[in-house]
């Protein structure tokens, strides 16, 4: 419960300062740059071809591609985001 409370406080601070949006934009740019978006798009097309357009809902597609999407995020991108969050937390140590 204390972890959830801390997470909520950090998230609120990220939103208030605009850092959350900056991190989202950075993530978007990095994922496009490394080809992640194209890989996931191709995977979506494969899933739709395999199951048939009439038999795939958006929810099915999300459930199918989410694990692969997470696995395809390069470690370098994860590390950069984590470092940015740590820096943010260090600057806002009063949390």
Q: State pLDDT tens for residues 3-44.
A: 999 999 999 999 999 999 999 999 999 999 999 999 999 999
Q: Which domain holds residue 41?
A: 2-92
CA distance 16 to 14: 6
CATH number at residue 12: 1.10.246.140
* Cα dihedral 51, 57, 59, 65 in deg (nearest 10): 30
| Confidence (pTM) | 0.79
What is the pLDDT, as a whole number, of residue 23? 97
Number of domains in the chain: 1
């Amino acid at each position: 419960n204390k972890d959830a409370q801390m997470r909520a406080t950090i998230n609120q601070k990220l939103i208030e300062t605009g850092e959350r949006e900056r991190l989202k934009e950075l993530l978007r740019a990095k994922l496009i740059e490394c080809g992640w978006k194209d890989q996931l798009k191709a995977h979506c097309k494969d899933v739709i071809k395999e199951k048939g357009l009439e038999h795939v809902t958006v929810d099915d597609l999300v459930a199918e591609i989410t694990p692969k999407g997470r696995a395809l995020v390069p470690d370098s991108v994860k590390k950069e985001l984590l470092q940015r969050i740590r820096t943010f937390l260090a600057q806002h140590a009063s949390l």
